[in-house]
Amino acid sequence: LEAGILQPPDTEHFCSGPATDTVEKILPVLEAAPPPEPPDPKTCSPREYLEYYIFPVLLPGLAGLLHEAEKEKCFEGRRTKFIALDFLTEWLYNKNPKREDESFTEFFSIPFVKDWLKDHPRPPIPLSLLLSEEEACIIIQSFWRGYRVRCDSEIQQLRQWQKKLKEERYINEVVKKFWAKQEAK
């Protein structure tokens, strides 16, 4: 038992097996030209259906997805605004042979996507994902500068005076009366 633990694992065991055999069988088929006559989609085997109807369309879409994910820097950070399924849906919709003559359609303009989002609205994307690093830095710095200014004793006195003035003059009631008059007109 101890001798078995100290020995390195058998690499042939990991490299051979049904998974690698399947990959070796599929790759040459993908690189080869498709058969001259397509198999009947209703009677062909699942493997033939995948190889002839699904993979020739899906694999270029997945390659485009990886390129776009690299552009969006998805591999650098943990969270991104890039939604891979949205990209793939848009890509497949626009590359559909039935839509060859039509112009490019954005994801949110696709009819079935519009219908789905009416019934299942998405939560908004967090602001932290929408802002660039420079924009986020500006917001943080402006907040910090404002905080430091508000900590100044003269500014504190001014804010307390404004608060007291607001309470003495019942400014909230004055504003409500003003808007009630405006709405009555």
The residue assigned the tokens 């943080």 is 140
Task: Count CA atoms closer than 13 A to 68's CA, side-chain side.
Answer: 17
Is the same domain home to 84 and 154? Answer: no
Is the same domain home to 52 and 116? Answer: yes
Q: What is the pLDDT of residue 76?
A: 85
Is the same domain home to 149 and 112? Answer: no
Is the same domain home to 91 and 149? Answer: no
Beta carbons of 81 and 125 less than 8 angstroms apart: yes
Residue 22 falls inside a structural domain: no
179 pLDDT band (50/70/90 cuts)? very high
What whole-number distance in Å separates Cα of residue 183 and Cα of residue 25? 76
146: tokens are: 């404002």
Residue 41 falls inside a structural domain: no
pLDDT in tens, 15-55: 444 444 444 444 454 555 554 588 888 888 999 899 888 89
Residue 160 falls inside a structural domain: yes
17 dihedral zone (left: phi>0; alpha: psi -120 to 50; beta): left
Q: What is the dihedral of CA 157, 162, 164, 170, to 10 degrees?
A: 180
Is the same domain home to 119 and 152? Answer: no
146-172 burial by CB neighbour count: b if 16+ within 10 A, else e?
eeeeeeeeeeeeeeeeeeeeeeeeeee
92: tokens are: 């497949």
**Which domain range does residue 66 map to?**
46-124
Q: What's at 98, amino acid-wise? A: K
Mean pLDDT of 60-86: 89
Residue 3 falls inside a structural domain: no
Q: What is the pLDDT of residue 126?
A: 87
Beta carbons of 51 and 26 less than 8 angstroms apart: yes
Residue 53 falls inside a structural domain: yes
Residue 149 falls inside a structural domain: yes
Number of domains in the chain: 2
Residue 153 falls inside a structural domain: yes
Is the same domain home to 52 and 110? Answer: yes
pLDDT in tens, 112-165: 999 999 999 988 888 888 888 899 999 999 999 999 999 999 999 999 988 888
Q: Show which of 124, 142, 171 is a domain's final residue.
A: 124
Helix boundaries (H) for 74-110: 84-94
Beta carbons of 69 and 90 less than 8 angstroms apart: no
Residue 62 falls inside a structural domain: yes
161: tokens are: 């005076």
Is the same domain home to 119 and 56? Answer: yes
Which residue, 153, 176, 172, 147, is CA-closest to 161? 153
Q: Show which of 100, 124, 148 is a domain's final residue.
A: 124
Is the same domain home to 70 and 97? Answer: yes
Is the same domain home to 73 and 139? Answer: no
Q: What is the pLDDT of residue 34?
A: 53
What whole-number distance in Å separates Cα of residue 63 and Cα of residue 157? 62
Q: Show which of 124, 141, 171 is a domain's final residue.
A: 124
